[in-house]
């Protein structure tokens, strides 16, 4: 079993839809959880950063962490064609001072 599981997709939804992306993980010691967006041939761009369990909202993005289930989610409201990208979940033991463990990434396509 891999440390972080993420469905690679592709996930195709119409413009304006609510998108749900998720990851599961096996290491209960992870404390920090992140979502990054990556466009082709570019580095990952930070979208959300959360500590431990709970919800966090930023604009059209909502991140949820359920440590008891070892499950994290990212919701995108009012999806736009410009949201088409690969979304990577990542997690670490100690925040920015520790290397990150990434999921494989989900390729998201928003149809105009």
Give the binding site for another protein (CB under 8 A): 4, 6, 8, 32, 34, 36, 41-46, 49, 88, 90, 95-97, 99-105
- Least Å distance, CB 15 to another protein, is 25
- Least Å distance, CB 103 to another protein, is 6
Smaller CB separation from another protein, 14 or 43: 43
- Least Å distance, CB 22 to another protein, is 15
C-alpha distances out from residue 38 to 22, 27, 31, 53, 94, Å: 16, 24, 23, 24, 23
Instruction: Report the length, in residues, of the chain.
Output: 112
Smaller CB separation from another protein, 16 or 52: 52
Structure tokens at 79: 């999806």
Q: Distance (Å, rounded) from C-alpha 26 to C-alpha 21?
A: 18
Smaller CB separation from another protein, 19 or 34: 34
- Least Å distance, CB 34 to another protein, is 6
Smaller CB separation from another protein, 76 or 89: 89
Which residue matches tokens 């079993």? 1
Q: Distance (Å, rounded) from C-alpha 56 to C-alpha 68?
A: 17
3-state secondary structure of 82: helix
């Amino acid at each position: 079993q891999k440390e972080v599981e993420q469905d690679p997709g592709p996930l195709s939804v119409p413009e304006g839809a609510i998108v749900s992306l998720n990851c599961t993980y096996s290491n209960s010691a992870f404390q920090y959880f992140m979502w990054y967006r990556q466009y082709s041939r570019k580095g990952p761009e930070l979208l959300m950063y959360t500590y431990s369990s709970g919800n966090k909202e930023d604009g059209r993005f909502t991140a949820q962490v359920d440590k008891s289930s070892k499950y994290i989610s990212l919701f995108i409201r009012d999806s736009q064609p410009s949201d088409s990208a690969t979304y990577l979940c990542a997690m670490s033991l100690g925040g920015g001072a520790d290397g990150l463990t990434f999921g494989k990434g989900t390729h998201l396509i928003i149809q105009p």
